[in-house]
Amino acid sequence: MSFDFHKLKTISIAGGEVTLRIPDRWGVWPHETDEGRWGCFEKDSDGNEPDTGTVWVGLYHMQVANAETPPDPYDVSEHMARSAMEDKANIGPPLLESHVFPVHQGHCWFHVCDVEEGGDMLRFWWFQFFLVRRNQVSFISINLVLTHVQMNDPEFVELRDIMCREISIAFLDPFRQDDENDAERTLGPIIHLVCDGKVRLPVPKIFGPIGEADEVESDGPPEVWFEQGVRAGLDIALEQVALWDENDKTPVSVDPDSYEDVLRNFLNLPVEQVHTRRMPNGAVAYHARTAEPARKGFIRGMTGGRPTAEYRHEWWYMYLVHGEARVMHLVLRPSIVPGGAPPHPDLVAYMHRAVCRTEFLEYDPPEDH
């Protein structure tokens, strides 16, 4: 009997603060006493729990005291990760593997150890993420647990490799509510813009049709915005790309380790000009062009023919499924007139994170837990 661990589904925990893929046969169950902890494992209709492995997810928030000169978040996260590693080395079971590496917004301490529970020897693969935003710290712990009997079985070796890969590229967004609150103070209300019924992403309301709803439909380019001599246009385009085997013309699945390479090849831009980021179901890319004179037409017309400088920030989100890729291409075009403000840095910074929160509505949405 095959466990089909390679068949995955996407789950979202704590309002989108943690998004990752797990085997389709598993469910997600909140811990009985710890409200910040969830278990991912199998349970049948009678409540029995076949032992096909377990992933535990823990999510905890902390706030550090304000200092006159706030420390660098990168340094704080690395210090916390290395301190945890040093403390663990002095107590508890021996570490079979242990190292710290940088991740988005912080650092991760990965380690492996054996623990005896109820007479069974268990092996734990731990990913402990220390993420920092100003004076806020998020500690996210995700670990895979297998018995010693399982860990040398070929199917469970596959499960180990799959889950270590998926945990390492999970989308961790613990500060999303704080981020949107900050954005609303500088950019105005945030709405969920639905484009052509295919994607939904959170953007400043200035880019959406006028209305009171938190979620709005848009069939064309969103509205433009003027502030302190700045014109910022937002264009969104969607493209569907078939992924075929060149020999027998059948749909193919892309190796998740190649997601970023597939996106880079699709863009065909110089490597040094494109920044990519892995996502659970694909990859995101960013490219910025230097300022150039705005072309004639609408922008020059709105400024009485005065010269303007036009910037261009581009993001691509490639969402990959079997035999197909859906690509969202988003272009932000801030333009300034002489004496105006530079392109709004808060807007560009927010859009970096907003693009990663895009939902592709044509496919099964993440299970919320």
Enter the pTM of the model: 0.84
Grouping H, G, I as helix, E, B as strand and the rest as coil, residue 130 is strand
Whether the predicted pLDDT of 296 surpasses 80: no
Burial class (CB in 10 A: 0-12, 13-18, 19+), 253: exposed
Note the pLDDT of residue 49.
Answer: 80
Taking all residues of the chain, what is their mean pLDDT, rounded to a whole number? 82
Average pLDDT over residues 215-236: 53
Least reliable range by pLDDT among 30-44, 105-119, 133-147, 204-218 = 204-218
Beta carbons within 8 Å of 352's beta carbon, 6+ residues apart: 286, 315
Sequence spans of domains, the chain: 8-174, 180-368
Task: Look at residue 7 and tell me whether its pLDDT is greater than 70.
Answer: yes
pLDDT above 70 for 113: yes
- Total residue length of the chain: 369
CATH topology for the 8-174 domain: Protein Transport Mog1p; Chain A (3.40.1000)
Which amino acid type is present at position 269?
L
Read off the pLDDT of each residue in 25-54 and give the average, rounded to a whole number. 89
Cα distance between residue 353 and residue 201, in whole Å: 10
Mean pLDDT of 8-28: 94
SS3 198: coil
According to the model, what pLDDT value does residue 70 have? 65
Strands 18-23 and 275-279: unpaired
How far apart (Å, rounded) are the C-alpha atoms in residues 137 and 172? 13
Percent of the chain surpassing pLDDT 70: 82
Inter-axis angle of helices 176-187 and 345-356, to 10 degrees?
Answer: 140
Question: What is the DSSP secondary structure assignment for residue 258, as one 8-state letter?
Answer: G
| pLDDT tens track for 333-349 | 776 655 555 557 788 88
Please give the Cα distance from 305 to 320 (Å, whole number). 44
pLDDT of amino acid 240: 86
Q: pLDDT per residue over 242-277, tens digit each?
A: 877 667 667 777 888 889 999 999 998 888 889 999
Determine the pLDDT at residue 294: 46
Is 148 a residue whose pLDDT tops 60?
Answer: yes
Question: Is the pLDDT confidence value at 307 over 70?
Answer: no
| pLDDT category of residue 170 using cuts at 50, 70 and 90 | very high
Q: 165 or 362: which carries more pLDDT confidence?
A: 165
